[in-house]
Structure 1
Amino acid sequence: MTRCQVPAFLIHQIQEELDKDEEEMMVFLCRDLAPDLATADLKEVLVALNEREKLTPVGLSELLYRVKRFDLLRRILNTEKATVEAHLARSLRLIPDYRVLMVEINENLEKDEVSSLGFLLRDYAPRMKMAKDKSFLALIIDLEKLNLVAPNQLDLIENCFQSIHRIDLIRKIQKYKHEASVSSVHSQPVYVNALQASLPNLNLIDPPYHSGIQNENIEKLQNGSSLTLGAAEPLHMSIEESGSVPHKVSDDSYRMQSQPLGICLIIDCIGNDTDVLEKTFRGLGYDVHCHRYLNMNSMNQKLLEVARWQKHKYCDSFVCILVSRGNSQSIFCTDHTFSGFPLEQIKKYFTADSCPGLLGKPKLFFIQSYVVPENEQEYTSLSEVDGNAENISSKVTIPQAADIFWSHCKVDVSKLERSSTSSSYYLRCLAELLHNPYKRKRCILAIHMELNKKVYDGNMTVDPSQQYSLLLQHTLRKKLFFPT
């Protein structure tokens, strides 16, 4: 055995730990290194590469890194993710970037999307065999055999991604192709994936497609290879261990990919919730604008100003959060007279006729009202009707226009009198749910359902006069997912 080879027990141990999908990804990644082993399983491929002196411990660690088995890097190969990243930045990589790109795309596709791609490809390759559960990587291999897809030939899958509304994957391919235009080897296109493209001052060159690794480069890799690569400076760019990606754009979900994601307007006339809300929505990618202690006139002017901003047309959504004393249909801001500012009017400022930049885009409103009893109001709003609060609230039908999400929470103003600095339990729970990336994998309606549960569970532990009442109304036409 030469010094560069990998012990057989390591290959066996790693193969035993991988599931079927991970094995498929590894075989796909190695496809250009051993084109004569196209139908072999993972263990056969790794053994063959090892015998041909193309596999080193460092190369094996790259393979585990590419399939995101960081636990096996640490437990079996005794190395860290950052160490592998440092090696990838400073040395020749084993795997061509085209293969890496296809594996990254494969991880971001759902089964139904792969089925849709298979159906669409019938127009281009009617003779291609279509198994029911064929994976994306298997589709790519079939297309490679028909010479329809290659590292410098990706227009076909771009067109298919356009048809299934996966614009995020098209952008990934376009970035990959853009890097090809600035570098070449012997007039052959060279492709650099998004990870290396983000690293400064690197000269990372892939061999041409199907040419394998040049012998002299193999020698460089093997002679300098070891699992401990020295005290390399950690890199800031890495593959996320969580595997989180922006949620796909499809016919039944809103696009939520712009940067910023949208304007988030927070008007907190009580002053206890601004900080946590600002942190939460800024973390989601919103351009957050906070205003405390506004009177009704100032709030009206601010709403009009924000509704007229041209930047809405470049954003995918809008969020408005209001915290104020009020009654069933109005908020009072900091004013001591209680004519009230109608909630209906707030919504109208951001509908498509008043704010064309938000046409067809989700508009989310979260309202926390501290309800002042009628007998404590100096005079009531002109929009008030006779009856108790519950009867009034049942007549409120705010979301009349499309794409409105209206979450209105009420609690008696005595809640503030008991603790003037306490935050809204409703808004605190909302922030916690939105802060959790696993919760954000669910659509906003599912998140709000859990918010309902938290609020009403909390009501079980307090006096009835201190309980929150939560009402959700919406006219969303699609599912809405926040980025994870």
Structure 2
Amino acid sequence: MTRCQVPAFLIHQIQEELDKDEEEMMVFLCRDLAPDLATADLKEILVALNEREKLTPVGLSELLYRVKRFDLLRRILNTEKATVEAHLARSLRLIPDYRVEINENLEKDEVGSLGFLLRDYAPRMKMAKDKSFLALIIDLEKLNLVAPNQLDLIENCFQSIHRIDLIRKIQKYKHEASVSSVHSQPVYVNAHQASLPNLNLIDPPYHSGIQNENIEKLQKGSSLTLGAAEPLHMSIEESGSVPHKMSDDSYRMQSQPLGICLIIDCIGNDTDVLEKTFRGLGYDVHCHRYLNMNSMNQKLLEVARWQKHKYCDSFVCILVSRGNSQSIFCTDHTFSGFPLEQIKKYFTADSCPGLLGKPKLFFIQSYVVPENEQECSSLLEVDGNAENISSKVTIPHAADIFWSHCKVDVSKLEQSPTSSSYYLRCLAELLHNPYKRKRCILAIHMELNKKVYDGNMTVDPSQQYSLLLQHTLRKKLFFPT
């Protein structure tokens, strides 16, 4: 036995003292340390870690601390809780922070509620009546739905069962992980990912430094001395109670639903794919086809006045219509035009207070009617402060607006009346891809630009799409992955 290893009798003695739930918890904590032993019991895992020189007396004391068996710390390892906390404060940790923060014992009815909520995401996942929360997390890890850098799903579920304390724990972990990544580039892996071949993943260096501790060689019956240290005011019972300070560089995108998504498709070819895409992102989607301008105006006003915006983190509006550079015509045959600028105004913070400080995304597909084919008529009267709308600049003055406007000649539609918009089809494909959604909306739109303009290379100039992005976003915007 090397000086870093733990005597076998200590492992046996501790394992005998633990109940079933504590063993399960300890196995969960060790999953990243021994990913090849996914089906092994606790004793097998501890013995294997010991043989691989990954388990030290300090590491064993941390495991007992994490499962709150402070009596065994004192009785078997002859050390105190405060001493272990002092070592943890100096980053002498065996267990990854992710496993610590997500380690919780939930009531059976709460676990049952989580299982019900997750059926849409993991329909094949078996949900036994007596399944614990940790077993549920392990199942989600196997399906690659939860990982150290992929916690939005479980955070949203906690939101649904009103466990604000657990949401704060996850947000605290995510914030600290993002801060630490500025100074280093650690690669986090879960047990499922680490077991895959040829991925060239790096084991997390959580136990580096532990084996360099000057630990006295343990003999049978000897005491474990971890070294004197001042007790810190950091108790495991207090975990998660510290208020979380939200990151200032990205919008909060965690509400359920994520926001209202209003789709007005006056052509009728894109509603289905757009509805599926944004419903999959977590939006409450409302679709309307073939509206005239009066009907659209009333619908926009109605949605802008909804009180539910204050409970959501964002808003999306998608319009598909014939139009010109400044207006859309809906299904009206007389081209009076509904000013696009007014659509923005309905959802700015002064008109819709529930969206104050929240991102408002607009995706417009205009099939442009040539000016010589438009019939002159007065602009539609709209509610609100709309004077001189046509003379205003198109760049939005209000904050937090993302405005993506794609135009193509109406002849494109006339040649293929049932064809969907290539612009909207590419948008849906990008947003449907979870790997693309790891990038902010501006990066996603840059790729959308590329797809649209690459597509233009293969068509007649009169059939090419023109894409314009204007925004007043103040932060980065990420959709849930």
1:378 Cα deviation from its structure 2 partner: 1.4
CA, structure 1 residues 448+129, in 2 after alignment: closer, same or farther (shift >3 Å)?
Answer: closer
Give the distance between the partners of 2:103 and 2:35, measured in 1 at CA.
21
Tell me, which stretches of 5 or more residues in structure 2 are unaligned? none
1:56 Cα deviation from its structure 2 partner: 19
1:113 Cα deviation from its structure 2 partner: 29
Q: Secondary structure at the match of 2:106?
A: coil
CA, structure 1 residues 387+253, in 2 after alignment: closer, same or farther (shift >3 Å)?
Answer: closer
Give the distance between the partners of 2:182 and 2:396, measured in 1 at CA.
59
Q: State the TM-score, normalizing by the size of structure 2.
A: 0.54
CA, structure 1 residues 394+439, in 2 after alignment: closer, same or farther (shift >3 Å)?
Answer: farther
CA, structure 1 residues 475+20, in 2 after alignment: closer, same or farther (shift >3 Å)?
Answer: farther
- Residues 92, 206 of structure 2: 8 Å contact kept: no
* Percent of aligned positions that are identical: 98
1:29 Cα deviation from its structure 2 partner: 3.0
- Residues 105, 133 of structure 2: 8 Å contact kept: no
Give the distance between the partners of 1:325 and 1:204, measured in 2 at CA.
51
CA, structure 1 residues 440+473, in 2 after alignment: closer, same or farther (shift >3 Å)?
Answer: same
1:92 Cα deviation from its structure 2 partner: 28
| 1:435-463 superposed Cα distances (whole Å, 9 cap, x missing partner) | 00000000000000000000000000000
Give the distance between the partners of 1:284 and 1:128, measured in 2 at CA.
21
> Where does residue 341 of structure 1 map in the other structure?
338
Tell me, which stretches of 5 or more residues in structure 1 are unaligned? none
- Residues 347, 398 of structure 1: 8 Å contact kept: no
Give the distance between the partners of 1:151 and 1:324, measured in 2 at CA.
43
CA, structure 1 residues 154+265, in 2 after alignment: closer, same or farther (shift >3 Å)?
Answer: closer
| 1:49-94 superposed Cα distances (whole Å, 9 cap, x missing partner) | 7899999999999999999999999999999999999999999999
- Residues 4, 211 of structure 2: 8 Å contact kept: no
CA, structure 1 residues 49+165, in 2 after alignment: closer, same or farther (shift >3 Å)?
Answer: same
Q: Secondary structure at the match of 1:201?
A: coil
1:330 Cα deviation from its structure 2 partner: 0.2
Give the distance between the partners of 2:371 and 2:51, measured in 1 at CA.
85
1:393 Cα deviation from its structure 2 partner: 12
CA, structure 1 residues 143+401, in 2 after alignment: closer, same or farther (shift >3 Å)?
Answer: closer
- Residues 317, 362 of structure 1: 8 Å contact kept: yes
Given the alignment of the two structures, is residue 265 of structure 1 paired with residue 278 of structure 2, yes or no? no
CA, structure 1 residues 185+26, in 2 after alignment: closer, same or farther (shift >3 Å)?
Answer: farther
| 1:103-123 superposed Cα distances (whole Å, 9 cap, x missing partner) | 565999999999999999999
1:232 Cα deviation from its structure 2 partner: 48
| 1:118-137 superposed Cα distances (whole Å, 9 cap, x missing partner) | 99999999999999999999
Give the distance between the partners of 1:21 and 1:450, measured in 2 at CA.
48
CA, structure 1 residues 415+93, in 2 after alignment: closer, same or farther (shift >3 Å)?
Answer: same
1:250 Cα deviation from its structure 2 partner: 1.4
- Residues 155, 167 of structure 2: 8 Å contact kept: yes
Q: Secondary structure at the match of 1:188?
A: coil
Q: Secondary structure at the match of 2:315?
A: strand
- Residues 319, 365 of structure 1: 8 Å contact kept: yes
Q: Secondary structure at the match of 2:216?
A: helix
Q: Secondary structure at the match of 2:102?
A: helix
Give the distance between the partners of 2:461 and 2:15, measured in 1 at CA.
60
Q: Secondary structure at the match of 1:473?
A: strand
CA, structure 1 residues 379+235, in 2 after alignment: closer, same or farther (shift >3 Å)?
Answer: farther
| 1:164-201 superposed Cα distances (whole Å, 9 cap, x missing partner) | 99989644569999999999999999999999999999
> Where does residue 22 of structure 1 map in the other structure?
22
Give the distance between the partners of 2:121 and 2:421, measured in 1 at CA.
57
| 1:19-66 superposed Cα distances (whole Å, 9 cap, x missing partner) | 999999999935999999999999998436789999999999999999
> Where does residue 70 of structure 2 map in the other structure?
70
1:379 Cα deviation from its structure 2 partner: 1.3
Give the distance between the partners of 2:418 and 2:81, measured in 1 at CA.
45
Give the distance between the partners of 2:460 and 2:80, measured in 1 at CA.
53
- Residues 56, 210 of structure 2: 8 Å contact kept: no
Number of equivalenced pairs:
481
1:337 Cα deviation from its structure 2 partner: 0.5
> Where does residue 44 of structure 1 map in the other structure?
44
Q: State the TM-score, normalizing by the size of structure 1.
A: 0.54
CA, structure 1 residues 77+398, in 2 after alignment: closer, same or farther (shift >3 Å)?
Answer: farther
Q: Secondary structure at the match of 1:216?
A: coil
Name which of structure 1's ranges 133-142 and 320-329 shifts more when overlaid on structure 2. Answer: 133-142
Give the distance between the partners of 1:350 and 1:422, measured in 2 at CA.
30
CA, structure 1 residues 116+282, in 2 after alignment: closer, same or farther (shift >3 Å)?
Answer: closer
Alignment of 1:88-103 (within 5 A): 103=100
| 1:395-438 superposed Cα distances (whole Å, 9 cap, x missing partner) | 84241100000000000000011000000000000000000000
CA, structure 1 residues 482+228, in 2 after alignment: closer, same or farther (shift >3 Å)?
Answer: farther
Give the distance between the partners of 2:310 and 2:16, measured in 1 at CA.
52
Give the distance between the partners of 1:125 and 1:277, measured in 2 at CA.
22
Give the distance between the partners of 1:295 and 1:361, measured in 2 at CA.
29
CA, structure 1 residues 406+88, in 2 after alignment: closer, same or farther (shift >3 Å)?
Answer: same
Give the distance between the partners of 1:450 and 1:426, measured in 2 at CA.
11
Name which of structure 1's ranges 257-266 and 57-66 shifts more when overlaid on structure 2. Answer: 57-66
Give the distance between the partners of 1:131 and 1:96, measured in 2 at CA.
28
Name which of structure 1's ranges 280-289 and 157-166 shifts more when overlaid on structure 2. Answer: 157-166
Give the distance between the partners of 2:126 and 2:418, measured in 1 at CA.
66
CA, structure 1 residues 379+450, in 2 after alignment: closer, same or farther (shift >3 Å)?
Answer: same
Q: Secondary structure at the match of 2:201?
A: coil
Taking only aligned residues, the RMSD between alpha carbons, in angstroms, comes to 19.3
CA, structure 1 residues 177+341, in 2 after alignment: closer, same or farther (shift >3 Å)?
Answer: closer
CA, structure 1 residues 3+357, in 2 after alignment: closer, same or farther (shift >3 Å)?
Answer: same
CA, structure 1 residues 235+464, in 2 after alignment: closer, same or farther (shift >3 Å)?
Answer: farther
Give the distance between the partners of 1:264 and 1:447, measured in 2 at CA.
18
Q: Which residue, out of 205, 215, 240, partners 2:202?
A: 205
CA, structure 1 residues 400+76, in 2 after alignment: closer, same or farther (shift >3 Å)?
Answer: farther
| 1:279-312 superposed Cα distances (whole Å, 9 cap, x missing partner) | 0000000000000000000000000000000000
Name which of structure 1's ranges 138-147 and 323-332 shifts more when overlaid on structure 2. Answer: 138-147
Give the distance between the partners of 2:416 and 2:123, measured in 1 at CA.
70
- Residues 324, 370 of structure 1: 8 Å contact kept: yes
Give the distance between the partners of 1:179 and 1:132, measured in 2 at CA.
35
> Where does residue 9 of structure 1 map in the other structure?
9
1:389 Cα deviation from its structure 2 partner: 23
Name which of structure 1's ranges 34-43 and 438-447 shifts more when overlaid on structure 2. Answer: 34-43
CA, structure 1 residues 458+384, in 2 after alignment: closer, same or farther (shift >3 Å)?
Answer: farther
